[in-house]
Amino acid sequence: MVTTRKNGSLYTRINGKVAEVEFGHPASNSFVSELLERLTNTIDELSENDGISVILLKSEGEKAFCAGASFDELLEVTTLEEGKAFFSGFAHVINAMRKCKKIIIGRVHGKTVGGGVGLAAACDYVFANVDSSIKLSELSIGIAPLVIAPAVERKIGKAALAELSLAPTDWKNAYWAQEKGLFSKVYETAQEMDKELEFYIHKLASYHPDALTEWKTVLWEGTDHWDVLLKERAAITGKLALSEFTRNALSKFKK
């Protein structure tokens, strides 16, 4: 079932010590500001829930995992403040994920673009299938992946980030993403992925919750400055989004 709501959907289901968070949007699971805000708030709330140990982040449908930021909403941005606010949505989500006390497992089932790659990078461990190609398309529309870059670079390194971002119209396959460290596991089918994912996530949830929390803190050492950095990056990106180049590029995608 895929949502038809223009502001997207977000559902949370709790099964024992696992919280399953599923987002969706009719435009290839892209993110509008409202959906980003809801996801941020949900992660913050689950972080303080002592009854769970693990969060599973997934999206609706069987096609794209996430198409990144909503182009329709981006076209409506007319001021620097609006631009900063729009791109701060992804900054807030990434910061919420890195500061979350729970381990976050990503389930990536299809193509992932831009902010969706950043979302996967902010997960602590990622399951994917062979259909999960990735692309950072930002430069092709006149902006740059400034906000998500710290999260992506943390996983795949500067060289791979350059390779991915400087070929903004090229797809990298799931095995490239696994080799570089973005994906932890890659499976031939979604069915095989889900079978292994269910086993893994419930085993992980059986571990000492305090140990998981303490270990996550170690894994994210050196990122405390992101609260300021990502907001600064959002302001720069918002400014770029107002350029004539970007407006023209985006208009070609608008239905």
DSSP helix, strand, coil percent of the chain (3-state; round to 5): 50, 15, 35
Which stretches of the chain score pLDDT less than 70? 1-2, 253-255
Q: pLDDT value at position 7? A: 87
Beta-strand runs (E) in 151-231? 185-187
Q: In 3D, which of 43, 57, 9 has the Cα closest to residue 29?
A: 9
Q: pLDDT value at position 253? A: 67
Strands 18-24 and 9-15: antiparallel
Q: What is the pTM of this model?
A: 0.95
Q: pLDDT tens-digit profile of 60-90?
A: 999 999 999 998 898 888 999 999 999 999 9
Q: pLDDT value at position 1? A: 58
- The CA-atom distances, in angstroms, between 249 and each of 89, 190, 221, 243 are 22, 34, 38, 10
Q: pLDDT value at position 226? A: 98
